[in-house]
Structure 1
Amino acid sequence: MDSQKKFWRSLWQLRVPNKIKHFMWKACNDALPTKENLHRRHVMDSTTCDLCREHLEDTIHALWLCKDISCVWSSLEWFHQAILVQPANFRELLARFRPCQDEYKVEIFVIAAWCVWNRRNALHFNRVVSLVTSICREAVFRASNVAGVGVIFRDNRGDPIGAMSMPVPFGQSMVEMEALACQRAVQFALEIGLTRVVVIEAFLNGSGQLASFENILGDIRFQAACFQHVEFNYISCACNSVADALAKKASSALVLQEWLEDLPDDIAPLVFREVH
């Protein structure tokens, strides 16, 4: 009984919105409307997961084991250090993180699980969803209520010309954060005197959602007219690890940082790896 009290007390004391705490409570009590639970209540005929189409969809599968979301958890190495043996249920999984000295790790985990469930529901009802690879990044930013913008410019050989890392208040969507990053990239290129640029961005893939921040796009177009040549190309953030690392660096440093040619020690190896 004492261990149960400690477990529930630690859950309700997490620094996350109450709706996420309530979601965790339902997940730990196997009260989410998974296909297994809906089948048991004679609501659905099938118990098979709609994402992987291979396994029974219970709570632990929907939030942890499904191969469709494996990239969410594989991107955070310390998760797997805590989970050496697969848990039998979600409550056991969450309990593995309770002894963590770094409270933010538990908060990142529960926020990411909540994002995974919301994405699962959105797909079920054919709604527009963010890339699954962005879930952990969103969880990190929501845990600190701060997002980050990361920008790097390279020459035609791939060598760095300049880079910046800047914190911004967390916005309403990851697409809006990507638009702000593009806006700051164009401005930074002008500040360091570049005249011919190719801007690689991730938010262009979500063109159906762009109308909600037309003012940002208008500013990008206005500044882009100052270049002799400018192109905007789409790339997945998973293929642009340097900018992604600079954005994450901003959420911890909480100050604007800029570099010309020389990059910080934790970023430089990523540049070399992407080029070679």
Structure 2
Amino acid sequence: MVHGDVGELMVADLINSNLHIWRNEEVMAYFHKEEADAICQIPLSRRDVNDDIIWLHNSKRLFTVKSAYHVVRKLLIDGNWVGTSGGCAERKLWTAIWKLKLPNKIKFFGWRACNDILSTAMNLTRRKIIKESNCLLCMRELESTVHALWDCVAVQDIWTGSIRKLQKWSVHGQADMKQLMEALLERLTLDEWDLFWAQAWFIWNQRNCVVHGGKLKELSSLTKRAKEFADEFKQAQDHLAVQNRQQVSGDVWQPPSTAEYKLNFDAVIFSGLDRFGFGAIVRNEKGQVMATISASGPRVNTSDEAELLACCRAIEFAIDVGFSRLIIKGDNSNVIQAISSPLQNFSLFGNVVNDIRYLLCGLRWVRVGCIRRGANKVAHVLAQYARNTLDEDMYWMEDSLPPALEALYHDCLSL
């Protein structure tokens, strides 16, 4: 929405073609504040490029039926066409299932059970696959999902001996699994919720064994097996997490070969300041500092946007000070993938991606790669330091870096 007489105003009239920046005062004069702020955040290319039409509702900025479906669904929910208190309860249920600390096969089993698409006797009868819909374990009731996993007399002893909070909770006769799960979510802790689904999965496997001609095992033993299974999975996940932390902590900066220089960059968003900071450093094969910058930029919405702008500024800086053979390293995999990809980038920051690719083509030799934060500490400290100098860009040429001496020392220890 605009206010004022725009007449024959063109988008180009709102851009300073010499500095390649928005004319903020003109934009603010013609648009309401929220729209003007959004416009001024659109990055402009430093080259003369053609305009592109992009789709805002997915990360690749390309229209897909899937993304359009999500847009329509969100509009319906926001407009109260769908989504009641029951809808909120369902979202809570799905979140709890997908966050189970159990293997994905059990999460998928839980999703199928709550959607009533397990191959119970009732479902198979409805599809005319079998004729009898009675439960094969108790032979008394129709086998629905909630009966097979909860109400059946053959499995009630398992639940009363499994989770302490269920031992005196004899509520049965729920309409479906969703209703039962909503009640359990209010009653069980997270660990008990995990154990419930591990137990349900073992019960269903035992039921399938009987249906396909196997013998009925001692059901009480399933309680112990489910507990051991859940505990073993959590221990394995904790072990993997420790290994990953050890691997990350061991990452160190690696020097380039004699003929090249290494450029590290990083960005940090300063919450509450409507700014972001970035840092970049160029070093030789001995780890000696060749050139460094610590500066700030305008407000951005995501870390990917900040990292892209930091990457562009870092490469421009390295070229300006005379480096043409560079190994460029950053710790944001999305950014590194975007600038390394041969495909056209239609994202909101596609102009920045294309500018970076253009700068890379002007180098005599270049290699781009992603590293972990442990090998990018100096650039990160420089990005953080920009908080102290929001109105001034700081440069160091072949000099020690007072803001990052400790990080530099740590990197030198690995040489």
1:16 corresponds in structure 2 to none
TM-score by length of 2: 0.34
1:177 corresponds in structure 2 to 306
Structure-1 separation of matches of 2:375 and 2:411:
9
1:110 corresponds in structure 2 to none
Q: Which of 367, 370, 375 lines up with 1:234 in the alignment?
A: 370
Whether the 8 Å contact between 1:197 and 1:229 is mirrored in structure 2 is: yes
2:183 corresponds in structure 1 to 42
Whether the 8 Å contact between 1:142 and 1:170 is mirrored in structure 2 is: no
Q: 1:144 to 1:275 in 2, by over 3 A?
A: same
Q: 1:250 to 1:40 in 2, by over 3 A?
A: farther
Map of 1:2-151 to 2, 5 A cutoff? Answer: 42=183, 44=185, 47-48=189-190, 138=269, 141-151=270-280
1:272 corresponds in structure 2 to 409
Whether the 8 Å contact between 1:163 and 1:263 is mirrored in structure 2 is: no
Structure-2 separation of matches of 1:248 and 1:178:
13
Instruction: State the shift of 1:208 in Å.
Output: 7.6
Map of 1:121-270 to 2, 5 A cutoff? Answer: 138=269, 141-205=270-334, 207=337, 211-254=347-390, 255-270=392-407
Structure-2 separation of matches of 1:41 and 1:197:
57
Structure-1 separation of matches of 2:181 and 2:280:
50
Whether the 8 Å contact between 2:279 and 2:294 is mirrored in structure 1 is: yes
Structure-1 separation of matches of 2:403 and 2:279:
14
Aligned-residue sequence identity (percent) comes to: 25
- Mark the runs of 5 or more structure 2 residues left unpaired by the alignment: 1-91, 97-179, 194-229, 232-240, 246-265, 340-344
Q: 1:46 to 1:208 in 2, by over 3 A?
A: farther
Structure-2 separation of matches of 1:181 and 1:204:
14
Look up the SS of the partner of 2:190 in the other structure: coil
Instruction: State the shift of 1:263 in Å.
Output: 3.1
Whether the 8 Å contact between 2:385 and 2:403 is mirrored in structure 1 is: no
Structure-1 separation of matches of 2:363 and 2:190:
53
Structure-1 separation of matches of 2:374 and 2:183:
41
Look up the SS of the partner of 1:143 in the other structure: coil
Structure-1 separation of matches of 2:297 and 2:184:
44
Whether the 8 Å contact between 1:242 and 1:267 is mirrored in structure 2 is: yes
Structure-2 separation of matches of 1:269 and 1:218:
35
Q: 1:190 to 1:208 in 2, by over 3 A?
A: closer
Q: 1:157 to 1:144 in 2, by over 3 A?
A: same
TM-score by length of 1: 0.50
Between the two proteins, the alignment pairs up a number of residues equal to: 159
Q: 1:263 to 1:151 in 2, by over 3 A?
A: same
- Mark the runs of 5 or more structure 1 residues left unpaired by the alignment: 1-32, 55-66, 72-133
Instruction: State the shift of 1:265 in Å.
Output: 1.7
Q: 1:42 to 1:252 in 2, by over 3 A?
A: farther
More helix by share: 1
Q: Give the superposed CA RMSD.
A: 3.3
Structure-2 separation of matches of 1:176 and 1:157:
32
The structure number with the bigger radius of gyration is: 2
Q: 1:40 to 1:146 in 2, by over 3 A?
A: farther
Q: Deviations over 1:226-275 (max 9, x none)?
A: 21101111012343111001001112211211110113323123112112
Look up the SS of the partner of 1:194 in the other structure: coil
Whether the 8 Å contact between 2:331 and 2:376 is mirrored in structure 1 is: no
